[in-house]
C-alpha cells in the first residue's frame, strides 16, 4: 500500500486554510495501481452477495463504478441536490469543510438489496454515514463500506461502527 500512497499528492490549505487535501488524481492516472486499488477495495466483500455498488458524487463515482464493474454488478449514483431527474430520497450531512445533501432515485434500491458503499476518502465520516442512512431509508442493506484512504485523526470510523469497514491507505 506504500506504492499506492506514493501516488496521493498532499495539497496544503485546499479547499480552505488548515485542510491538507489528499489529491488522488496521480493514482487515477496510473492504470496498474488504479486496478490494484479497486481490487483491494472490493476483495473483502467478494463473497458478500453484493447486488449493487453505491458511490457518492463526485469522486465516489470513479471508484464506485470501477468497483461495480469488478464485482459484475450495477452502480447507483448518490448525487448532489438537483441533479437526478426522477423522484428522489435525500439526506443532509456535515463535511470536514461545510455541509451538504445527497440524493438517490427512489427506484434505484429495492428492499433487501445488498449494497457495497464506495468512496475515495473517509474523513469525518459524515458523507458515508449519511449515505448509509439514505440506502437504508429505501430498504437496502449495507454489506460494507470501502474507501481508498482514511484520515484517521478525524475518526470517521466512529460514525460507521455498525458497518463492516475497509480502507487501504491511512493518514
Ligand X SMILES: O=P(O)(O)OC[C@H]1O[C@H](OP(=O)(O)OP(=O)(O)O)[C@H](O)[C@@H]1O
Ligand Y SMILES: Nc1ncnc2[nH]cnc12
Which member of 52, 121, 135, 145 binds ligand Y (CB under 6 A)?
121
- The reply on whether position 105 binds ligand X by CB under 6 A is no
Which member of 22, 51, 127, 167 binds ligand X (CB under 6 A)?
127
Which member of 38, 67, 102, 123 binds ligand Y (CB under 6 A)?
123
- The reply on whether position 28 binds ligand Y by CB under 6 A is no
- The reply on whether position 146 binds ligand X by CB under 6 A is no
Nearer to ligand Y, 7 or 22 (CB): 22
Closest approach, Cβ 141 to ligand Y, in A, equals 26
Phi, psi of 2, rounded to the nearest 5 degrees: -65, -35
- The reply on whether position 59 binds ligand X by CB under 6 A is yes
**C-alpha cell read off for 73:** 454488478
**Dist CA 155 CA 152 (whole Å):** 5
**C-alpha cell read off for 155:** 475518526
**Residues counted in the chain:** 171
Which residues are known to be catalytic? 59, 96
> Choosing among ligand X, ligand Y, none, which partner's interface includes residue 145 (Cβ < 5 to 8 Å by kind)?
none
Which member of 96, 103, 113, 150 binds ligand Y (CB under 6 A)?
96
- The reply on whether position 96 binds ligand X by CB under 6 A is yes
**C-beta of residue 171 within 8 angstroms of C-beta of residue 151:** yes
Q: Which of 77, 35, 78, 71 is nearest to 51 (CA)?
A: 71
Phi, psi of 111, rounded to the nearest 5 degrees: -55, 135
Alpha carbons within 13 A on the beta-carbon side of 30: 16
Residues that bind ligand Y (CB under 6 A): 19-22, 96, 121, 123, 151
Amino acid at each position: 500500500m506504500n506504492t499506492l500512497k506514493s501516488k496521493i499528492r498532499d495539497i496544503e490549505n485546499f479547499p480552505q486554510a488548515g485542510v491538507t487535501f489528499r489529491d488522488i488524481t496521480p493514482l487515477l492516472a496510473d492504470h496498474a495501481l488504479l486496478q490494484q486499488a479497486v481490487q483491494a477495495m472490493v476483495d473483502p466483500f467478494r463473497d458478500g452477495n453484493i447486488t449493487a455498488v453505491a458511490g457518492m458524487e463526485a469522486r465516489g463515482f470513479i471508484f464506485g463504478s470501477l468497483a461495480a464493474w469488478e464485482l459484475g454488478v450495477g452502480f447507483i449514483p448518490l448525487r448532489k441536490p438537483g441533479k437526478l431527474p426522477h423522484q428522489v430520497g435525500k439526506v443532509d450531512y456535515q463535511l470536514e469543510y461545510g455541509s451538504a445533501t445527497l440524493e438517490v432515485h427512489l427506484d434505484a434500491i429495492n428492499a433487501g438489496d445488498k449494497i457495497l458503499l464506495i468512496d475515495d476518502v473517509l474523513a469525518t465520516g459524515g458523507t458515508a454515514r449519511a449515505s448509509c442512512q439514505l440506502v437504508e431509508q429505501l430498504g437496502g442493506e449495507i454489506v460494507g463500506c470501502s474507501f481508498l484512504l482514511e484520515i484517521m485523526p478525524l475518526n470517521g470510523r466512529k460514525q460507521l461502527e455498525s458497518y463492516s469497514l475497509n480502507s487501504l491507505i491511512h493518514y
